[in-house]
Every structure is written in structure tokens, then in C-alpha cells.
Structure 1
Amino acid sequence: MSAASAIGRLDKRKRMLVTPEGIAVPVTIASRGSRLGALTLDFLILGTGLFAVQLFLLFALGGVIEEISTAADGTLSGASEFILILMILLLFLARYGYFLSFELGPRGATLGKRIVGIRVAARGGGRLTAEAIIARNLLRDIELFMPLIFLLIAPSGESGSFGLAGMVWFMVFMAFPFFNKDAMRAGDVIAGTWVVEAPRTKLADALSTQGSAGGASSTVTGARYQFGDAELSVYGEHELQTLERMLREAQPDALAAVHAAICRKIGWDPGAGDERAFLEAFYGQLRAKLEGNMRFGKRKADKFS
């Protein structure tokens, strides 16, 4: 593939995500290959973890596990029934809890997605809600697990229309991301989410709380940026993460829009010319404040909390 062709493919995946504050954030839709790779890694991680737990139970409760695997219906002891119920609950929690807990976290990504370098984002530009994450993960049952179960339980050699229906069902949902430009699966359509690339660039030293938390001045305009408690209390962790992402990507137009939005919100008029210095100082001081509050058990999820 030529360099020009690769750039063209990348440009086709560029989108603008508009936050509730009206700020346009440039994002890149994750490729279908990276999404498949992330899902494969997640299943490997999940399967390895379950296998390790199963080995532990086998060594710790060998006799009970053997009874469960060999007993006929209705012949299990009370202890064996309890262990069987516990194993079923563990499988259920592993299947749903893994994806839900990681995607509801601040990074919006499972371990597989982090390794590949992608994350889940709300198409509306707001915070990922629990409802959206639950919806996109419940849809995975319809897209993947249920048709696979159809295929697995179909009698060998005589599956007939039952096995064929499972195969068609599976192929339709697996092909779904290839029939829309945003590579969305059915769960993304229902939940209102995108899967986007997550930059791995390290934050610059200027974004550490050690320098900017104590106040910073612009070398261009000479303005000094020291924010009070009332000004920093306007925003929470969600806005901090958004600001961090904007500073990582360093898009001049986006930084200018964020600068203007924050100034309007907190009532500042520092002038123009060094918007990045202002944002770096605000980021550092806001982060220091939020981290300080967390030490005392106080958390502010976003500007609405």
C-alpha cells in the first residue's frame, strides 16, 4: 500500500466530536482490524483469568469439583450445589463485569483496547453513561454469543435449518461494521457510541501539577495564571480528562475554542496570544485540586455534580 493510499484511508476515518459546550474535538475512528484485535485480546485475557480460577478451584476443592462433573441429575450434595452456583455466578460476572467495569472507567477502554490503542467515546461528545455502556455490551449477546450458541448446540451432522440460521445470524452481525462508514457494530448504533483511536503521547512536563499548580505565567503575554477555588470548582474529572486529551492532540483551533469556553465559564479575560499556557496552568491547578479533594474522600465527577 502506498503512503498516499494510507493517508487517504486515515482521512476517511477523521471525525469531529462536538462536546456539550460546543467545542469541536477531532477524533479518528478506530479501524475494523484494531477492533477485532482488541476483542480477541480481551477474550484471551478473560479466558486465561477464568482458566486460572478454575485451576485454583480444582486444587482447592478437587473432590467437590469431581462430584459436580460426574454426578447424575439430583445427586449433588449441598456443598457441591453451592460450588456449582458459585461457578455459574463467576462466569456471569466475568462475562459482563469485565467489559462493563473497564469501559465505565475513566479511560473508556478494556485491557485489549488499551493495548491496541483505542477507546469508547460518546458520539454526542458528552460523558459515557452507564446506560450506553450496558446497552452496547448487552447487544454483544445478540451479535456474537447467541448465534455461536446456536451453532454449538446444533446436533453434529444434522443441524439442518437450525445451524444454518445460526450461521446467517452470525455472519449478518459480523458484517455490520463493513456497511457503515464509522465501522460501528449494532451495539454502537443502539448505545450512541464510537470506538476511536486513543493517542499514546506522553504529557509534556509543563502539564505536571508540580509546575503549574503553583501558578504559571505566559512568556508571550506576560499574564500570570493563578486560579481561585471558586474558579476551579466549576469543573470536574470529566472536563479534566477532556482538557488533557485536547492538550495531547494540540490542535490550535480546538485549543482556542476550549480557552474561550473556559474563560466564559469562570469569568476571565486574559486576552489572546498564549492560549496553551493558560490551558496548561488551568489543567495543572484543576488536577491538583481534584487530587487533593480525593485524598479526603471528595470526588467531583463532572461540572454537573
Structure 2
Amino acid sequence: MAACNDYYYATRDPLGSAGDFTTAPEISQMFGEVVGAALTDVWRRAGSPAHAAYVELGPGRGTLAADALRVMRSAGLDPDIFLVETSPTLREVQAAALNGTITHVDMIDALPGDRPLLVVANEFLDALPIRQHVDGAERHVTLTPAGLAFDRDGTILETSPARDEAVEALSEGLVAVGGVALVIDYGHARTAPGDTLQAVREHRFAPVLADPGEADLTSHVDFERVADIAREAGAFVAGPVEQGPWLERLGIQARARVLANASPERAGDIEAARARLCRPDAMGSLFKVLAIHSPEWPSPAGL
């Protein structure tokens, strides 16, 4: 999974109608604006510390960052920008989208250790590699005369050492310098067995083992595990809550009305985007929001 995704992300821009999938920031500017407002609010309640940094893990095209930073700057917060991104292709797209001074780093451990961090991880953890176990034995991929195949089936329990390491590094960094992280992803609130590994290509599900490196491989995030790892690192946790109610509590409906009033010809599209982000039968329930913050910082609103 790691090898496939490393190749996949390094060789293309996978987002949008011409790509393989669409994330929340690409659906509507409202998503990034709510994120920016939430981070600005918690920064103010933490005493408006100087030199805070905006950090995004896996920032895609930079769309979320652009929308969030526009709100932050309008409220008097103009942070330095650090993006955790390994894809050369996406780094170029992000630099063009943000049109300013940004710093790219390859890993969470390379983030600055001398200032508070305002972190967003939107659909980042789901792409980190997982392991699957059946009756205590690890499930492997083997090569057969018919192609790639799994070596065992049954009730599956998934773990992700890579995800654990990323959450631990992020949490330890926040405890050391102060700040908050919003983790937004699809997954389950409680640890449970199940096979959640999936491949998406051209906006449709694809066979997981077909055409390695040519589809986006992800799995559902175990938010209970994420919270446990963060607490073990000394951080505080709020949530998870469902994405739809969180966006609604933070005012996405009011923002939709403002945008619709400014562009009446787009009112239908704006409402459709809001519904897609918030409705339980769309992204509203499957996607969760969890905050990780240093002990001296408050929890973000809506959680």
C-alpha cells in the first residue's frame, strides 16, 4: 500500500473531475473557510500568540489552505505556511495555488519546533498504509498464476503502525510548542473489525489489487485509536464528531446564504455543495472531525 501510494501521488494530480477523486475543499470554498474560522477562533482564545504557523498534512492542491488562510488573514492572523508533502507534482500545484512563501517538508518531525502550530489533516491519515490480520495472522499479498491475490480471508482486524507514528509525532509536537490539530477524515468512532481497504479510480471503486500504483488506496481511520495515541503522547483530545453537524454548528448554513445572495445564479450549486458536505447520506456522517491540542490550548469550537 505504501509503495503503490508513493508512486501514485508522485506521478499525477489525482484530484478533481479529471482525476480520481474529489475532496471536501474541492467541493466548496465553505469547507476551508469554516476550518480557517475554527483555527482563528481557537488561536484567539489561546491568547493570540505571535508567530503561529499554519500547517497542513497532505494538502492536495492547496485549495483548503488558500480558503482557510483567506479567513485567517481577514481576522488579523497571517501565519507562516508549512506543508507536509512528498509529491513533487503536488508541491508545484500547491505553490501556484498559494502564491506566496511556503515551506515544504517531507515529514511531521521536520515541522518547526519554535512556535505554536495550527494544523489541518484532511483526508491524510486514510492514505497511510495499513496491515490486516485474520485470526491473529497477518494477511499478505501473493503472486498467483491469475495475478495478485490475498493469502487468507476471514474476519479482518486492521492496524496501521504508520498512522500511529504520524499521530504520535504530531501530538508530541503540539505538546512541545503549543497548538491544535483538526483531523478530518472518513472512518469509525470506535475500534471494530472489518475490511475497509479500498481503491478509487476515475471516481469509482476499483479492485484493490488491480493495476498497482494506478488507483488511490485508502482505508477508514480508527478514530478511537487516533485519540488513544494522542493522549498517550500527552495531548488533549476533543471529539470525534460527525463532519455534518460540526460544519453546521460553525455556521456553514449562514455562509452558504451569504454566497448565494452574492451570486444568485449559483445558489443551486452552493446549496448542493453544502448538502454534500453535511447530509448524513453524503459526507456528513461517514466523515469525522477530531481535535488534538496541547494541554494549555483550548479545544476548537463545535466539538
TM-score range, shorter-chain basis? Answer: under 0.3
More strand per residue: 1 or 2? 2
Q: TM-score, normalised by structure 2?
A: 0.22
More helix per residue: 1 or 2? 1
Q: Which structure would you say has the larger Rg?
A: 1
